[in-house]
Amino acid sequence: MTHDSIGLGEDGPTHQPVEHLAALRAIPNTLVLRPCDAVETLECWQVALENAGGPSVLALTRQNLPALRRAPAEGNLCARGAYEISPADGAAEVSLFATGSEVAIAVAAQTLLKDKGVAARVVSVPSFELFRAQARPIATP
């Protein structure tokens, strides 16, 4: 799928608005992957190829987006479903969660918040399904 974005593409309105994502995420056993840049796209492609539990959807954008990750990390970060893509300077007061093309907007918001003295981290969430599937840590008193 392409043209996935809240923003307006260079060739006019989007053909597959973000409302489609909610519908896709509601389909049982469907893995929706919404990468924010080229590195995440490679990692999501790997996840889709290895997914034997049902169909995978790569929701891509045609917008020109910045490369937020210059090189793959050790392991596939997108396979976690979510990860910190831009840490806060110091202790984070705010966490911004975003997916797909909106991750770049969240990184820009992080800069604006920093200018106002608010430390924020940005978390990229390429797959809600993979994130929810992670084992939950046991809370200790």
Evaluate whether residue 42 is within a structural domain. yes
Walk along the chain (141 residues) and give the pLDDT tens digit of each residue. 766 666 655 565 555 566 778 888 899 999 999 999 999 999 999 999 999 999 999 998 877 889 998 766 789 999 999 999 999 999 999 999 999 989 999 999 999 999 999 999 999 999 999 999 887 766 655
Count: domains in the chain = 1
In a domain, 7, yes or no: no
4 lies in a domain? Answer: no
Question: The domain spanning residue 125 has which CATH number?
Answer: 3.40.50
Tokens of 20: 């489609």
Angstrom distance (rounded) from CA 56 to CA 133: 15
Range of the domain at 25: 19-65+76-133
The two three-digit tokens of residue 15, written as one number: 């053909």
pTM higher than 0.75: yes
Q: Is residue 13 part of a domain?
A: no
Residue 32 within a domain: yes
Measured from the Cβ of residue 78, the count of other Cβ atoms closer than 10 Å reads: 29
| DSSP letter (8 states) at residue 79 | G
